[in-house]
Structure 1
Amino acid sequence: MEHPSEVFVSNYGSFLGKKSERLVLKENGQTVLEVPFYELQNIIIETSGASISTDCIKECMQRGIPISFLSSTGKPYATIISPHLTGTVVTRRAQYEAFKDKRGVQMVKLFVEGKLKNQVNTLKYFAKYRKSADKELFNNVQSVIDKIETTAQELKEITGNCINDVRGQIMSAEGRAGNLYWQGIKLLTAGKIDFPGREHAGAADPMNSLLNYGYGILYGKVEKCLILAGLDPYAGFLHVDRSGKESLVYDFVEEFRQPVVDRVVVAMINKGIPIEMEDGQLSQKTRRDLAERIKERLDTAERFQGKKYRLQTIIQMQARRIATHLRGEARYKPYVSGW
């Protein structure tokens, strides 16, 4: 029998416990799932009405299985991770020191470069199916792509001795490219959904709700990978440090938003998958559907550095490459998805 590598808990009254070498999920006192701990990679708890036993937590920590907690909108508010998975002191010292020198500038430029290239390739991926069917739409999207690529060229001209010197310039280029990208997404989903434009916290429309919830799931994946690579998820470069803000998670996630989440969400919209809303939020059914599709996407093999790897493996590989880049052992190259 095949077991899930990720357990998603969303029903009120759910209980997670340990039975021998297996995780047990109960709902209303009835066992609905048993999974061997050795097969588990992650546990996500989305409901405020769940409980978990301490022996289950201990087993997860000993096996390096993170337990993530999401709000109903997909925003992570806590993660339990073993303190023994925090990597080396050398890596974190290099990370903190890089904030004050050119390594930090270079790191951010590479993150943003990857993001913009993936924005372009996501638009190309969906536009290629319209080249014959709707030439005008194809040309309009191509015009957006051209403008993003022009904006991306500005990154090469930005130089500085530390990230504080150039943050404004980089964020300006990133922001302008982002506005163009969402214009392209709006063109590609026109007639399928009413997309008012990109909105973050508090968005109540279906499209932004899907994106925000999907990104919430991705944040948890990225955080785990950074910690396993020995990095501090709170010490970023582009995103300003603030208590409780996982700045490096927000930096690193940029090159994976489009290939992991945006591809899934736009495909759902264009295929006419029902998006159910309840009280301004995604219904539990839609949240589960989206979570499953993102999991499938992360399990998809993509070509990277001449070979094929699952996307979730690529994220972990890239996290380790951040560490080696900051330690001065190898240059980081952003992941760019195919189209």
Structure 2
Amino acid sequence: MHLFISNYGAFIGKKSERLMVKENGKVVGEYPFHDLEHITIDSLGVTISSDAIKECSEHGITISFMTPGGDSYALLYQPTLNGTVLTRREQLFAYRDERGIEMAKCFVKGKIGNQINTVKYFAKYRKTANPAEYKAVCSLVDEMAMLAGTLPQIKGTCIDEVRGSIMALEGRISNLYWECVKLLFSGNVQFPGREHRGAQDPVNSLLNYGYAILANQVERALVMAGLDPFGGFLHVDRPGKKSLVYDFIEEFRQPVVDRAVIAAVNKGMDIKIEDGLLDLATRKSLAAKIIERLEASERFQGRKQSLKTIIQAQARRIATFLRGEAKYKPFICGW
């Protein structure tokens, strides 16, 4: 279970074998620790007891802290990383050889595949309802697929030699993808195009908040697989930048967040902005939709599995690839 605490002034404590949540001095929820996997706190003024933190650590429950604007600023998890020291050593060594290039290309390949399939998923309902829009979207998808075919042609001996080429290709395809998304909204909402931190329009505010939730899920999976969230390949190293989180999240933005946001907007979701931020009701509604997507099933390795399970499995696949024990194949959702 993924529990969200969004109300100002809430108190989180321990009562026997349960996590207890109080608001205004009254108990509003009790949750057995064995039922919890993740707690996200996205409000200011929330208090959590050391007893609750200790119990969460012992049960492997991650605690994420976010601002109401979707900026993640802390993540608490067990101090003992799973996996072997060999995994982290090989992760750092891989930056200097062709494994780093392979990982970066896999992340981008997964992102492109999921962008194309997400567009196809929503476009198929417009084939008869809006043929002109469907034709325009298909034209953009064809161009995306054509550009994607050039990814294998990028060659080098280490990621620093080819990062610019990979990122440039990814950027061109993403621009086409967001043009498709704009068409898919069919005028239901004004969408100026993709904007990141600081965006105040409804769609980008939803996307940025959703990606923050996903980033915490992704980091948790990487840590549990014994990987260093800061040791990425596609995204450059900077102090405090969790490059591998930014790398790995690319594979899951569309199936988890974009699908939830596009569907919600087209179904007339009531999106309210207060002081440049999503209001509490909108954040709660979106968080529920993101969690629903994480619990949704996709075909993976020959059977249906939840997306959150697939994220964890793919994190472990990264580790086995870096140790030279298996190939890495990006996850691409169906449509």
TM over 0.5: yes
8 Å CA contact retained: 1:64, 1:85 = no
Letter in 1 for 2:84: T
- 2:221 paired residue number: 225
Q: Secondary structure at the match of 1:83?
A: coil
Q: Distance in 2 between matches of 1:305 and 1:148?
A: 26
Aligned residue among 270, 278, 287 for 2:266:
270
CA distance in 1, matches of 2:145, 2:152: 12
2:138 matched residue in structure 1: 142
Residue 82 (str. 1) matches residue 68 (str. 2): no
SS in 2 for 1:68: strand
Q: Distance in 2 between matches of 1:26 and 1:88?
A: 40
Cross-structure match for 1:151 = 147
Counterpart residue number, 1:333: 329
Aligned-pair CA distance for 1:87: 2.5
Amino acid at match of 1:193: V
Q: How far apart are the structure 2 equivalents of 1:33 and 1:245?
A: 35
For residue 42 of structure 1, what is the aligned residue in structure 2? 38
Q: Which residue of 2 aligns with 1:319?
A: 315
Which consecutive unaligned segments of at least 5 residues does structure 1 have? none
Query: Which whole-Å CA distance do the structure 2 matches of 1:58 and 1:309 have between them?
Result: 31
Q: Which residue of 1 aligns with 2:91?
A: 95
* Cα separation, 2, equivalents of 1:47 and 1:63: 24
Comparing 161-170 and 300-309, the one that deviates more: 300-309
Whole-angstrom distance in 2 between the partners of 1:244 and 1:16: 28
Deviations 1:141-198 (A, max 9, x none): 0011011111111111001100000000000000000000000000110310000000
Distance in 2 between residues matched to 1:295 and 1:232, nearest whole Å: 25
Does residue 179 of structure 1 match 2:175? Answer: yes
1:28 matched residue in structure 2: 24
Equivalent position of 1:59 in the other structure: 55
Equivalent-residue separation in structure 2 for 1:9 and 1:84 (angstroms): 26
2:254 is aligned, of 258, 276, 279, to 258
Aligned pairs for 1:289-300 (under 5 A) are 289-300=285-296
How far has the Cα of 1:242 moved from its partner?
1.1
TM-score under structure 1 normalisation?
Answer: 0.98
Q: Which runs of 4+ in 1 moved over 3 A?
A: none
Question: How far did 1:46 drift?
Answer: 0.7
Secondary structure at the aligned position of 1:26 is classed as: strand
Q: For each residue in 1:278-309, what CA deviation from the matched residue of structure 2 results, as whole angstroms up to 9, or x when unmatched?
A: 11111100000000011011111111121010
Shift of the alpha carbon at 1:85? 2.9
Cα distance between partner residues in 2 of 1:97 and 1:125: 39
Identify unmatched segments of 5+ residues in structure 2. Answer: none
Name 2:13's counterpart in structure 1.
Answer: 17
Q: Does 1:234 align with 2:230?
A: yes
SS at match of 1:85: coil
Which secondary structure state, in structure 2, belongs to the residue aligned with residue 272 of structure 1? coil
C-alpha separation in 2, matches of 1:203 and 1:273: 19
Identity %: 59
Tell me the secondary structure at the aligned position of residue 155 of structure 2.
coil
- Matched position secondary structure for 1:319: helix
Q: Whole-Å Cα distance in 2 between the matches of residues 250 and 112 of structure 1? A: 11
Distance 2:301 2:83 in 1: 25
- Distance in 2 between residues matched to 1:215 and 1:279, nearest whole Å: 20
CA distance in structure 1 between the aligned counterparts of 2:267 and 2:146, rounded to whole angstroms:
31
AA partner of residue 149 (structure 2): Q
Q: Deviations over 1:74-133 (max 9, x none)?
A: 121100111113431010001000000000000000110000000000000000000011
Instruction: Name the SS of the counterpart of 1:251 in structure 2.
Output: helix
Q: Distance in 2 between matches of 1:83 and 1:240?
A: 26
Mapped to 2, the partners of 1:37 and 1:85 lie a distance apart of: 20
What per-residue deviation string (whole Å, max 9, x for no partner) do you get for residues 203-222 of structure 1?
00000000000000000000
Structure-1 separation of matches of 2:80 and 2:287: 28
2:279 is the counterpart of 1:283: yes
2:211 match: 215
Deviations 1:212-260 (A, max 9, x none): 0000000000000000000000110011111111100000000100000
- TM-score (norm: length of structure 2): 0.99
One-letter amino acid of the structure 1 residue matched with residue 11 of structure 2: F
Name the aligned partner's letter for residue 256 of structure 2. Answer: V
- Could you give the per-residue CA deviations for residues 3-27 of structure 1, whole angstroms, max 9, x where no partner exists? xx12111111101000111000000
